[in-house]
Structure 1
Amino acid sequence: MPVTPANPRRWLVLIAVMLAILPVVFDMTILHVAIPTLTQSLGATGNEVLWIIDIYPLLMAGLLVPMGTLADRVGNRRILLAGLVVFAIASGLAAFAQSAAMLIGARMLLALGGSMIMPCVLGIIRRNFEDEGERAMALGLWSAVAAAGAAVGPLIGGALLEKFWWGSVFLINVPIMLVVAPVCSLLLPRIEETTPGKWPIGQAIVLILGMISLVYGIKAAFAAGQPPVPVPLILAFGIAMLAAFARKQLRSSEPMLDLSLFSHPAIVAGMIMAIVAMGALGGVELTLAQELQYVLDKTPLQAGIFMIPLMAAVAVGGPVAGYLSNLLGLRPLAVLSLLVSAVALGCLAWSDFHDPGLTVPAMLAVLGLMLSTGLTASSIAIMGSVEASKGGAAGSLEATGYELGTGLGIALFGVFMSGVFGRTIAMPAGLTPQQAEQAARSIGDTYLVAHQLAAGEGAALIAAGKAAFSTTHSVLLSVSAALIGALALLVFFLLANYRNDGGAHG
């Protein structure tokens, strides 16, 4: 039974916040098929391309906890509406960016808007659905819509690029927001219960600086060329910032992030699963989008259609995981989802994408279904390990794991891909040392250099790049399969004491 009188408009509120989340999840995947077109149009280097893609989830990972606590202080409605406006403005700026640097800046602003929207959506659902059964249904519907939005992102991106320039994948957010913002303004309750106290902006800045510095340091350590600041210094600064943040949380009477949550092995397992599953999903999508367009010469729309089995399976994985969790138990489900994901990745690593037959679409569907099941299992582990009073903090932690996983996955897939590609490509004769160095960085750079050469030399370089990328793609997916297989073993032990008994856990 509801603890308080139910909001008679709660299902309309759910529709409003589901609409609000759509552009945010679109933006997580819609860009993948646009990368080859965008790279050539802006003349972006491989490193710039990686930052264009992953600055969005990485910055969101640092901002989600601070923005969630800010929403608790001033109200979810106000922060959500402000986030929708910021997201719309940033989308317009991204669409008309004239350089890679401008686009990276616009993506940072998009991350700010997205980080204001996401925690508010979960907070609004929790506050409007007091009945546990209704709340579970509402969260299930929200998850399905969010997953479906991510699923159709590459398809929408491909369709837009058939008719319009690359900026259209961002500009489409503006009309969506012009509809969503007024609907949310009308439907969301104007009076909300807020948490008293000041918002610790200093802690927020320390967390963001630490996270970005650490990830940038990891990327720079593997990337070609030297960053402006030595890598050990960047890493040391990031670790110091995160250590200072952790020390402040442990000493504070009202911490921004309750670090005691990590004392639960199931939460640790859930966070690891969320980070790895989202990382694998984002990295595989990015790799496939480039393989399909650069190597197989597919259009963006054809690439989006090719990836439908992967993303459609992701969309249905949540409801399937909820059913299987009750049937099998969380621990068997989590381990099984990871093991099957590893097998699917291994099959894809050595499949011939020139002649995919039924094997490649089937393995893409299995991979999407299992990674999505793993994500839902991580959510069950995290949210089921704490009492209701800490549900908001756990939810913020879970969302941070998703965004951090996406950013880290794309970053690490990208730098690993660049390293293997540079060692694999067999340069044709006639290139200057500078041209050879640039062409070895990524397949996008190979195409940029090829366009500067005579027709025959350019064709030879592109052929070499295609061969090297296919090898890189196989190595990358094989390594990913091995890592996820090892993770299954770790999760097996971390969830040893987890019990499916209506929410109580040991």
Structure 2
Amino acid sequence: MQPNPWLVLVAVIAAFVPVVVDMTILHIAIPSLTVALEASGNQVLWIIDIYPLVMAGLLVPMGTLADRVGYRKMLLLGLGIFTIASIAAAFSPNAPALIAARAALGIGSSMIMPCVLALVRQAFDDDAERATALGIWSVVGTAGAAIGPLVGGLLLERFWWGSVFLVNVPVMAAVIPMVAVLVPTQRGNRQTAWNPWQALVLVAGLILTVFGIKSGVKDGLHASSAAALIGGAAILVWFGWMQVSSRNPILDLSLLRKPAIAVGLLMAFIASGSLAGFELVLAQELQFVLDKTPLEAGVFMLPLVGAAAVGGPLGGRLASRFGLRAVASLSMAASAASLLAISFTDFGRHDYLVAFLLAILGFALGVGLLASSIAIMGSAPKESAGAAGALESTGYELGGGLGVTMFGVLVNSIYRSSFSGPSAAPQGATHSIGEAMAAAKDLGGDMGTSIADAAKTAFLQAHGSVLILVATMIAILALVVFIALRGAPAADHH
């Protein structure tokens, strides 16, 4: 009996939702989690980052492994790991344990994600139906990321920070039997080449590099951070060389010779990085500086994430109407302009203006992400579509992970140099606003109040400076995109 493709789609999307929600739900929980686990600024960045970094490194090899063993088997295994890791994360006694659990969540997600798209492609033979199914998938993806902060806020109103992970367990209890029943078993292709070593080299290179950046900015460049940076960069160069010289590379870097693909990847990287990094800083500012509850912060962020969810699907129409070059470069320019405007706006006084600017930023980045996808997939030869897709999804995940790193590291370092609290303030208070708020809570009284006030002032200064810096970078990217996409087709190629 032929399985109903729409039922397969329902099961697959149900498996996909917790993975996307997990990418953003944590941003809202960070302030309460920082205080509860007494996590340092660096540990906070690792808690968030380790998930997309591990996932980015493993997406491609897990995809090829799924080709070998069959998608249903791989999907069920990924869902199982994701469930166990969610329980471990919820009950983590300290920051290192939570970082380890988040890494395990990344492994589970990297097994789930490639199977989702492969099963959607397999289930639908009809091109029009498949396009509809992929459209539903992308809307659910952006909507899932959009409701993450809101779900996080709702949970934290009632429960402790671990609830943002524990919520995955009842969801998975429904999803796993659904996948087992609705998704057909298919035989894998044993001939598919699989080399996990290249993936491990990529993950090692990324983690060392990120560690080098974080510890270097936190404590100044010393021997260990310099060694990590140089070692990480060397490993990444070696990975690149392996991709170019290997007979079956996990990432086909030769595709980057096409300017449209290279620029598309750069856009995916910067747009997803800006969105993730900005969301994290915004969630901290709303809760630590403006004293909003997690739920109020989640609602405040809705224009940003909601407009990003709308921008994605509309981006395709805009690109086919006005041409990719115009849409891609304008979306980047609008992102830069709105970030610049946000950096000069007082969140406490002008909340309607901020909501409007957040909506513009979200919409522009959503359109930019879709334009990057069109640039990559539209310029890749048919036989390299899988390789181009792998390159694109790796770009997204890496952008998200490294965006959080860059925003976090820059904010913390400017915060440190601007912090002018009482000289008797504990050492940690000068490192990050999270540590300062935890110290203020412990000390209480006048001392606690003056530490909290100094931290808020320093954080606002850091936040403003970083936004100006990122806006400048995106404005330069808009120019690069405009120049590089000279030869891009002006009309539809969907």
Shift in CA distance, 135/7, structure 1 to aligned 2, threshold 3 Å? farther
- Give the aligned partner of residue 3 of structure 1: none
Deviation at 1:481, TM superposition (A): 1.0
Which of residues 467, 470, 478 is equivalent to 1:488? 478
2:443 aligned counterpart, secondary structure: coil
Aligned-residue RMSD, C-alpha = 1.8
- Give the aligned partner of residue 67 of structure 1: 62
Say if 1:346 and 1:477, in contact at 8 Å, map to a contact too.
yes
Q: Which whole-Å deviations, capped at 9, do the CAs of 1:201-221 have from their partners, x for residues lacking one?
A: 222221221222222222222
- Give the aligned partner of residue 418 of structure 1: 412
- Give the aligned partner of residue 308 of structure 2: 314
Deviation at 1:467, TM superposition (A): 1.1
- Give the aligned partner of residue 456 of structure 2: 466
Letter in 1 for 2:438: L
- Give the aligned partner of residue 279 of structure 1: 273
User: In structure 2, what is the Cα distance between the partners aligned to 1:129 and 1:492?
Assistant: 36
Say if 1:55 and 1:107, in contact at 8 Å, map to a contact too.
yes
Which of residues 75, 89, 95 is equivalent to 1:94? 89
- Asked whether 1:200 is paired with 2:190, we answer no
User: In structure 1, what is the Cα distance between the partners aligned to 2:353 and 2:106?
Assistant: 37
Deviation at 1:451, TM superposition (A): 2.9
User: In structure 1, what is the Cα distance between the partners aligned to 2:115 and 2:282?
Assistant: 33
- Asked whether 1:407 is paired with 2:401, we answer yes
Which of residues 98, 103, 107 is equivalent to 1:108? 103
Q: Which whole-Å deviations, capped at 9, do the CAs of 1:86-141 have from their partners, x for residues lacking one?
A: 00000000000000010000000000001111111112222223443332222111
- Give the aligned partner of residue 161 of structure 1: 156
- Give the aligned partner of residue 45 of structure 1: 40
- Give the aligned partner of residue 245 of structure 2: 251
Deviation at 1:233, TM superposition (A): 1.8
Deviates more, 1:31-40 or 1:249-258: 249-258
- Give the aligned partner of residue 301 of structure 1: 295
Letter in 1 for 2:418: T
- Asked whether 1:498 is paired with 2:492, we answer no
Deviation at 1:195, TM superposition (A): 5.7
User: In structure 2, what is the Cα distance between the partners aligned to 1:137 and 1:194?
Assistant: 28
User: In structure 1, what is the Cα distance between the partners aligned to 2:401 and 2:334?
Assistant: 23
2:137 aligned counterpart, secondary structure: helix
Deviation at 1:242, TM superposition (A): 2.3
Q: Which whole-Å deviations, capped at 9, do the CAs of 1:420-471 have from their partners, x for residues lacking one?
A: 101111122443xxx1x32111111111222343501110111111111111
- Give the aligned partner of residue 214 of structure 1: 209
User: In structure 1, what is the Cα distance between the partners aligned to 2:125 and 2:388?
Assistant: 17
1:215 aligned counterpart, secondary structure: helix
The TM-score with structure 1 as length reference comes to 0.94
User: In structure 1, what is the Cα distance between the partners aligned to 2:463 and 2:12?
Assistant: 38
1:253 aligned counterpart, secondary structure: coil
The residue correspondences of 1:448-467 to structure 2 (distance < 5 A) are 448-467=438-457
1:62 aligned counterpart, secondary structure: helix
Deviation at 1:246, TM superposition (A): 2.5
Say if 1:123 and 1:392, in contact at 8 Å, map to a contact too.
no
Say if 1:140 and 1:318, in contact at 8 Å, map to a contact too.
no
2:269 aligned counterpart, secondary structure: helix
Deviates more, 1:410-419 or 1:473-482: 473-482
Deviation at 1:499, TM superposition (A): 1.1
User: In structure 2, what is the Cα distance between the partners aligned to 1:7 and 1:255?
Assistant: 35
Q: Which runs of 5+ in 2 are unaligned?
A: none
- Asked whether 1:376 is paired with 2:370, we answer yes
User: In structure 2, what is the Cα distance between the partners aligned to 1:7 and 1:465?
Assistant: 61
Q: Which runs of 5+ in 1 are unaligned?
A: 1-5
Letter in 2 for 1:451: K
Deviation at 1:473, TM superposition (A): 1.4
- Give the aligned partner of residue 190 of structure 1: 185
Deviation at 1:492, TM superposition (A): 1.1
Letter in 1 for 2:474: I
Matched residues, percent identical?
A: 51
Aligned residues: 494
- Give the aligned partner of residue 139 of structure 2: 144
User: In structure 1, what is the Cα distance between the partners aligned to 2:354 and 2:125?
Assistant: 44
- Asked whether 1:363 is paired with 2:353, we answer no
The TM-score with structure 2 as length reference comes to 0.96
Deviates more, 1:255-264 or 1:114-123: 255-264
Deviates more, 1:23-32 or 1:131-140: 131-140
